[in-house]
Structure 1
Amino acid sequence: MQEAILGKLTSPTATASGAALNKTLSGALKGSGDVFVQAGKKYGIDPALLAAIAVHETGNGSSKAVKNRNNVGGMMGKNGLMNFNSLQDGIDKMASNLKRNYIDKGLTTIPQIQRKYAPVGAGNDPTNLNSNWVGGVSKYYSMFKR
């Protein structure tokens, strides 16, 4: 049921404007709604999804990853959390990663994305936070696309 409801994540038409996203974005994400919209248009991904993942991954802009590394998606590299030069760069890289490694491979619903992006039982998730990923991202996505 949830996958059917959340199936339209790759829409050429944004379901949320930058101004609408800015009503919820806070902390290091505050005022970045238009950046999510631009990245969504560039990669053909609903900006509400991009913002929902970023809000969930960063505690709505409060995590050290976003504050110190401009990492909005919990993106990992060989040496742990990746660093980005700017918040805009971090948002763009998260969107690019979602496009290439998820959307283009047929993973187009929040539950499908979660199974690869934040799998339950992952070695880098010792406190099992990934079990909350679908619910958290879905909650924000539903809120943003209104």
Structure 2
Amino acid sequence: MSSPTASASGAKLNNNLGGVLKNTGDVFATAGKKYGIDPALLAAIAVHETGNGTSSAAKNKYNVGGMMGKNGLMSFSSLEEGIDKMASNLKRNYIDKGLTTIEQIQKKYAPNGAANDPTNLNSYWTSGVTKYYNMFGGR
């Protein structure tokens, strides 16, 4: 991924989105266009973070990015808001700071050895997100 610019269409994303993420491809495409981020990357992070829309965070809190606040897992009012907030966070705190590859993003987004990762799942973040990114046709 050399440039985090939009490439994947909502219809193409819908082919592989499941759970509560089913048929949200256009929401990822809209957020990608709004923030200048490849929708395939947004969808890949969401699929990895939520077990493709099956996690309780996605179903009960509309949190598709595993985003944490001072009181733990953040809650949003809708999937659209959760996707938009994840994209906004990625733009402001990662891409605008020069972290543009999946590997660079992982070191801050889901660092190995993080206190909130007792089972070391973060060590699979780069490979998982990359797999989904490629599946969604990211470039």
TM-score, with length taken from structure 2 = 0.97
**Partner Cα separation in structure 2 for residue 40 and residue 80 of structure 1:** 26
Question: Corresponding residue for 1:75?
Answer: 67
Is 1:129 the counterpart of 2:121? The answer is yes
Q: CA deviation at 1:16?
A: 1.2
**Partner Cα separation in structure 2 for residue 61 and residue 145 of structure 1:** 19
Whichever residue aligns with residue 9 of structure 2, its letter is S
Question: Corresponding residue for 1:90?
Answer: 82
**Partner Cα separation in structure 2 for residue 20 and residue 84 of structure 1:** 25
Extract unaligned runs of 5+ from structure 1: 1-5
Is 1:16 the counterpart of 2:8? The answer is yes
Is 1:7 the counterpart of 2:11? The answer is no
Question: Corresponding residue for 1:44?
Answer: 36
> For this pair of structures, how many residues does the alignment match?
138
**Partner Cα separation in structure 1 for residue 42 and residue 8 of structure 2:** 11
Aligned-residue CA RMSD (Å): 0.8
Cα deviations by residue, 1:32-90 (Å, 9 ceiling, x for unpaired): 00000000000000000000000000000000000000000000001110000000000
Whichever residue aligns with residue 53 of structure 1, its letter is I
Question: Corresponding residue for 1:3?
Answer: none
**Partner Cα separation in structure 2 for residue 7 and residue 116 of structure 1:** 18
Q: CA deviation at 1:7?
A: 2.0
Q: CA deviation at 1:15?
A: 1.9
**Partner Cα separation in structure 2 for residue 44 and residue 27 of structure 1:** 26
**Partner Cα separation in structure 2 for residue 74 and residue 40 of structure 1:** 18
Whichever residue aligns with residue 2 of structure 2, its letter is G
**Partner Cα separation in structure 2 for residue 63 and residue 72 of structure 1:** 9
Question: Corresponding residue for 1:104?
Answer: 96
**Partner Cα separation in structure 2 for residue 109 and residue 63 of structure 1:** 25
Q: 1:115 aligns with which of 103, 107, 117?
A: 107
TM-score, with length taken from structure 1 = 0.93
